[in-house]
Amino acid sequence: MDERVAADDFEAALERVSREHYILFHHHLTEFMASHLTDCCTVFDGDLHEMLVFTIIAQRYLRDQLAQQEGETPVEERRAVSATRIAAQTGMPRETVRRKLAALQARGWVEKTGRADWRISLAGGSAAARLDLEDFLRRETRRVLRFARALKPIV
């Protein structure tokens, strides 16, 4: 019952935003997206496909980290992903995905597992990319919080 109430509240908020705050919502969304994607272009040397490949692998790593925080045992299969799976998820050609993975591996951010799957490289127990991305992650957090604050009055 609580899940249904939450779903009803969500649908009501969605309808209200669409009806009453369409322009304001999309203004804040495009401000957020333009700023975020511009920053991503800088960090990934203009290669948003590389950023997308990295994000998919990072998503799996973070999902596993959240599961561990909730007391679940880490599962390697949950963490690693194949180039074929990334290609299917993104619509990118598999060879393009492989080139992006090679570039990310050269940065030291991802590593190939024995089964031809890919995962986030670890250094000292955390993602190796975290140090390289520290300033970006701080800007990203700031952007997300500004976006959430801007949306709070309309949702």
CB atoms within 10 A of CB 82: 16
Higher pLDDT, 13 or 43: 43
What pLDDT shows up at residue 1?
Answer: 46
Single-letter residue type at 38? T
- Supply the mean pLDDT for the chain: 91
How do residues 15-68 score in pLDDT, each as one tens digit? Answer: 888 899 999 999 999 999 999 999 999 999 999 999 999 999 999 999 888 888
Residues 82, 154: Cα–Cα separation, whole Å = 40
Which residues, 6+ apart, have CB-to-CB distance to 139 below 8 Å?
Answer: 39
3 band by pLDDT with thresholds 50, 70 and 90: low
Which residues, 6+ apart, have CB-to-CB distance to 133 below 8 Å?
Answer: 43
134-149 mean pLDDT: 97
What pLDDT shows up at residue 127?
Answer: 92
Residues 36, 93: Cα–Cα separation, whole Å = 25
66-94 mean pLDDT: 88
